[in-house]
Amino acid sequence: MHDVFTRMLIVLGLITTIGIGTTCGDAWLLSLRTVQWDSVAYKESSEYLSNPDCGWYEIYGYRIGDGKDYHKELENHYKACDKDIQLLMLQLNLGEYRNADISEEGLTEIEDILSYWERTNQYHIILRFLYDWDGHGETSEPDTIEQIMTHIKQVAPIVNNHKDAIFVWQGVLVGDVGEMHGSKYLDDTSLQSLMNVIAQCVDPKIYLAVRTPRHLRTILEGNEDIVGRLGLFNDGMLGSASDLGTYDNREEELEFQHQLCNTVPNGGEAVIDNSYNDCPSAYADLAIMHVSYLNHWHHDAVLNKWKNTVYQGDETVFVGCSAYDYIGTHLGYRYVLKDSDVVYNYKDETATLNIELENVGFAPAYRKYDIQLVLSNDNEPTTSLRLYDIDNRKWDAGEVTTVSLDIPLAEYTDGTYSIMFSMTDPTNGKQILFGNDMEVHAAGYELGHLTIDHLYGE
């Protein structure tokens, strides 16, 4: 930070360097500016942040079929939704079209459902198409893989119309509850063929996810083009040493997810009360796997255990919170402003603002957000500086990042400017909330005040 004494030393050093005794030096000094930066206090908060593409989620299912009217059902679901969350899983059951193409009426129903949820401008969607809700995947799915491929091709254009609202497409339609087990289409060739059709037809802005690391590796052996797009979902998370058959060697697969999920999302359901979801080991594994989202309805035994466990860890601001609240606040990314300073570059008359922040969440963000500074004082129009080159997706979990921006002082008159910092989701215009105990304004979070003066006055 530059306090007043530091500012005086900078000016004295510049005077010595330039030389007061020369006419040229005097002329240069007439335009020389000085800057002072007074930051606000940055204090961390334990508040749950309602941010896009991470956190707790809820599930709503719809059986697609001719003659269905979902209007009242959709309204009831929306009224029941927890407004503090921003993720929903929509399960669209195509079982009525098991051995037939989806009718125009059925396709219209899919469009209506996705349009309704997108219009709320509240939720992003985890999307799962399936044929079974009763644990009878093999007998509920189509008799031929070609029919499944046709269904994928039919629904893909509708899905693509809502690509801004859909965060991730889960599964390949088959298996018990669409979870990729209990199906005749999960041999390597069928699995690769189904995912290839999905990857070709579904907009690349939408992430894809499969049930196990083995599924993922098998698919990538046949299609390396979807590296960086294909992630995981785990509905047996922390349920046993193997996460209920998700993998054979837990330690190796946790490390695999640790590397993989720096660039693709991971989420699911925590199930079955056992030692693997006891705390603090649960915190460690969720962080290693970079988990972004969990179902907050299932499984009650695990969720209730977390709600009745008090967090006692190294993050002091959370001490005394429940394990459930600690986990919820760390799902996905969680940015905390830590510090800021200004460096004056007298040669090109710019001030470099350095903003230090930390991602204390379990995972990075997987979508790029719009970042800007807003400078304002009482005598000048408010100006905005967009930070196009800064990519928040690279702010890894557990890492401290410094964001720097040069402010062209020549474009600003003398005075004291309030500087605000904001991140915005470009898909819906919502601000990204930070884990700081400070007010968020329409223009973002106030970082501090920048005072600009001429050395002698203009």
Among the candidates 303, 330, 357, a domain finishes at: 330
Same domain, residue pair 191 and 242:
yes
Residue 369 burial by CB count (10 A; 0-12/13-18/19+): exposed, middle or buried? buried
Same domain, residue pair 371 and 391:
yes
pLDDT value at residue 455:
67
Structure-block tokens of residue 200? 């070709």
Among the candidates 311, 330, 349, a domain finishes at: 330
pLDDT value at residue 25:
38
pLDDT value at residue 98:
97
Q: Cα(380)–Cα(93) distance, rounded to whole angstroms?
A: 57
Structure-block tokens of residue 43? 């204090």
Same domain, residue pair 367 and 316:
no
Q: Cα(337)–Cα(42) distance, rounded to whole angstroms?
A: 6
Long-range CB contacts for residues 404-408, cutoff 8 Å, separation at least 24: 404/352, 404/353, 404/354, 404/355, 405/352, 405/353, 405/355, 405/373, 406/345, 406/350, 406/351, 406/352, 406/353, 407/350, 407/351, 407/352, 407/353, 407/373, 407/375, 407/450, 408/349, 408/350
Contacts of 316 (CB under 8 A, 6+ apart): none
> Which letter, b or e, does each residue of 399-413 get, where b requires 16 or more Cβ atoms within 10 Å of its Cβ?
eebebebebebeebe
Domain region containing 292:
55-330
Q: Please report, for the domain that includes residue 376, its CATH number.
A: 2.60.40
pLDDT value at residue 456:
56
Q: Which of 236, 142, 144 is nearest to 181 (CA)?
A: 236
Same domain, residue pair 361 and 296:
no
Per-residue pLDDT of the chain (458 residues; tens, 9 = 90+): 444 433 433 443 344 344 333 333 344 444 577 899 999 999 999 999 999 999 999 999 999 999 999 999 999 999 999 999 999 999 999 999 999 999 999 999 999 999 999 999 999 999 999 999 999 999 999 999 999 999 999 999 999 999 999 999 999 999 999 999 999 999 999 999 999 999 999 999 999 999 999 999 999 998 999 999 999 999 999 999 999 999 999 999 999 999 999 999 999 999 999 999 999 999 999 999 999 999 999 999 999 999 999 999 999 999 999 999 999 999 999 999 999 999 998 888 899 999 999 999 999 999 999 999 999 998 888 899 988 899 999 999 999 999 999 999 888 999 999 999 999 999 999 999 999 999 999 999 999 999 999 765 54
pLDDT value at residue 15:
42
Terminal Cα distance for the chain, rounded: 27
Number of domains in the chain: 2
β strands within 131-283, DSSP E: 166-170, 207-210, 230-237, 266-270
Q: Cα(346)–Cα(409) distance, rounded to whole angstroms?
A: 10
pLDDT value at residue 11:
44
Same domain, residue pair 97 and 141:
yes
* Residue type for position 424: T
Same domain, residue pair 12 and 85:
no
Same domain, residue pair 312 and 427:
no
Edge-to-edge order in the sheet of strand 445-454 = 33-39, 445-454, 415-424, 370-377, 380-386
Same domain, residue pair 33 and 82:
no
The single-letter DSSP state of residue 432 is: P
Tokens 């697609």 appear where? 64
Same domain, residue pair 232 and 276:
yes
Among the candidates 314, 330, 346, a domain finishes at: 330
